[in-house]
Amino acid sequence: MTKWAYAAAAFLTTSLFACAVEKKPPVISSGKTVVEAYVRAWNQHDSVALDSILSPDAIHEDIAQNFRGKGSAEVVKFMRGAVAVEPDFKWQVTNSIEEGRYVALEWTWTATHTGPDPANKSVKNKRISGRGASFAEVENGKIKRFTDYFDMASLFR
């Protein structure tokens, strides 16, 4: 074989290896990552992001506010209601744990509230702050169920 034939064979071999595509398994987000994206979407008032984070039949429950919404449209409506009375809210996760498809969160909520308080009195620019916990179920990279637990009255003390 000539020098050019060796060079051509080496070039062809190198090209084939360079073009070879390694098939990797799909990247599946951890439940914790999905839930963090959900909290981030709330903090950014990004109702569009909820469509990609919630499963079509997702349920979000807020026990203290007697809310149970199914599907992103109902959750978006709930989010918009929160933004209307607390436009500067900050939902901050302080601790989280993940076990399989379940994620548990501890968090704080701070905001300036204008609207009815738990006693149904109207307040204006009332600074509120409190702690709570949430439990989420994530399936196929989307939130299937998300439930908040907190004491609404304690936010207004």
The percent of residues above 90 in pLDDT, for the chain, comes to 78
Higher pLDDT, 5 or 141: 141
CA distances from residue 120 to 53, 81, 113, 114, 151 in whole angstroms, order as listed: 33, 16, 13, 12, 15
What is the helix (H) or strand (E) element at residue 157, kind and residue range? none
pTM over 0.75: yes
pLDDT tens-digit map of 120-129:
999 999 999 9
Q: In what order do the strands lie in the sheet with 102-116?
A: 67-70, 54-62, 142-150, 122-139, 102-116, 90-99
pLDDT of 41: 97
Query: pLDDT-based confidence at 5, cuts 50/70/90?
Result: low
Residue 21 DSSP symbol: -
Comparing CA positions, the residue from 46, 39, 51, 56 lying closest to residue 136 is 39
pLDDT of 24: 46
What is the helix (H) or strand (E) element at residue 70, kind and residue range? strand 67-70
pLDDT of 143 over the 70 cut:
yes
